[in-house]
Structure 1
Amino acid sequence: MGTRTVSTGQLAPDRGTLLTWAAVLNGELVLVLLYFALSSSTPGDVLWLAYPFVWLNVAAWGVRRVGVPSASRRQWLAAGAVGVAYFLLLGGVGGLYMFHGADLGSRIAWLSPGWGPALVYSGPTVTVSLLPFKVGGYAALAYLVAVTVVDTARTGLAGFLGLLSCVSCTWPVLATLATGLFGSASTAVVVAESQPYALSTAVFVSSVLLLVWRPSR
């Protein structure tokens, strides 16, 4: 595979982009302040409050950065299937769902923005804990992998062989396993408060960067 070079000019945001992100960040800050003003919760660690927005903002940036490459319907169907499988794999290793449960039913956990509102379901054989920032982050990674499939499809067999050894595709899965993000998903509060999210956030951000600026793009 060749190497894609990124110039300083490509990295520097223009004025419109800066204004857009300033509005987004200010809106997120207002959303958090409103949540604590209207709820009985008290603010905790600032970093804990910021993690979900880092995930969601980086996810939006990555998806917007790669755009929608041109491809045939067949290529997109194949890429979409890979993306869905990849999302399910990340969801499994990242704690969105587990194949065991306490049969407690479903509820909405009204956590701080980004962590919640989270849909929590505990059945007899499966537990689902859908934290918004994880769903959005994993969906973005799945889309970026699908785009990688579309791009490599143009290079034929060599491209698909390269995809099998794609570090930027396997890194999120291996690193998520290494950070131990299983935890107890029977309640979103436990998941939100007990896991090493500083490390998983670093893994997520580096994964998006690798998939956006990967070789042969």
Structure 2
Amino acid sequence: MSTRDAVSFAPLRIPLVRWLLVLLWVESLAVAAYLVVTPVHVDDVRYVVYPFVWINVGVAAVLWTTLPETNRQLRLVAGVVAVAYFFLLAALSGLVSVDFGALLGSGAHAAGGHTHAAGGHPTGWQFSLAAPGWGPRFGYSSGALSVAFIPYRVVGYLALSYLVYAAVLDTARAALSGTLGLVSCVGCTFPIVTGLSAGLAGGTGVASALQTLSVDLSTVVFVAAVAVLVFRPNARGKTKQ
């Protein structure tokens, strides 16, 4: 390692570890405060820990990843892909849902001058407290469109989208340089399983066993997806050490 490499190594690594330690400290205080002020009994500790696995792994992966230098056109394309990818995960996991039947029928309801809650569900803004990481939760429903904010899911999907953004930049640059870099796109498609597993296991009730383990499975898939994207072939030598 050259002197220049050694000098640039320390400033990148020390703040990363420091910020992660600060994040862990804040999370621990938040959990302790929540358990003190609310009459909540923790039956299974892993459900308290899982949201922070998503948050901490996602934050660490983003801080660890260095974006390659590319032109504005490639950044724009990668940005569009990343945004679309985020909304795909959000839709698969139920953070965003659209009732096209209600949407197409909204004109008839509006003509009658009445507003109804679709399927008996409340409309408007909702807010609820929950354990740190799981909450606080808030969302909005208009009957045709529903949007929910669950902290650990949003942070995790934003992190995955950022990593996909970096992967697309790497792949596009490799393709333009004549290198067969499309193999790294496996890392872009694999994390979709994260949202799919959350949507199937946690939202549709396909199987009671999957429902019971939905958080466990989605957490495992999320961590694996982050690992695939961070340590994909084209990312070698591009992660912050």
TM-score band by shorter chain is: 0.7 to 0.9
Structure 1 residues 135, 197: closer, same or farther in 2, change over 3 A? Answer: same
Q: Greater shift after overlay, 78-87 or 119-128?
A: 119-128
User: Take 1:78 and 1:15, find their aligned partners in 2: how far apart are those partners?
Assistant: 33
- Report if aligned partners of 2:171, 2:185 keep a CA contact under 8 Å in 1: no
Count how many residue pairs are aligned between Structure 1 and Structure 2.
197
Q: Kindly state the Cα deviation for residue 19 of structure 1 after the two structures are TM-superposed.
A: 5.2
Backbone CA RMSD of aligned residues? 2.8
Question: Bigger shift: 129-138 or 113-122?
Answer: 113-122
Amino acid at match of 1:32: V
Q: What per-residue deviation string (whole Å, max 9, x for no partner) do you get for residues 40-70 of structure 1?
A: 4333421001111000000001111113332
Correspondence list, 1:200-215, <5 A: 200-215=218-233
Q: Percent identity?
A: 36
Q: Report which of the two structures shows the higher radius of gyration computed on alpha carbons.
A: 2
Give the TM-score taking structure 1 as reference length.
Answer: 0.79
Cα deviation for residue 123 of structure 1 reads 2.4
Residue in 1 that maps onto 2:168: 149
**Equivalence map 1:1-217=2 (5 Å):** 18=17, 20-100=19-99, 101-102=118-119, 103-105=121-123, 106-156=125-175, 162=182, 166-178=185-197, 180-181=200-201, 183=203, 196-217=214-235
* Secondary structure of the corresponding residue to residue 127 of structure 2: strand
Question: Is contact 1:59–1:137 with CA below 8 Å preserved after alignment?
Answer: yes
| SS state at 2:86 partner | helix
Indicate the larger mover: 113-122 or 167-176. Answer: 167-176
Code of the residue aligned with 2:35 in structure 1: it is F
How has the CA–CA distance of structure 1 residues 143 and 197 changed in structure 2, closer, same or farther, with 3 Å as cutoff? same
Stretches of structure 1 that go unaligned for 5 or more consecutive residues are 1-9, 185-192
From the two aligned structures, give the one with the greater helix fraction. 2
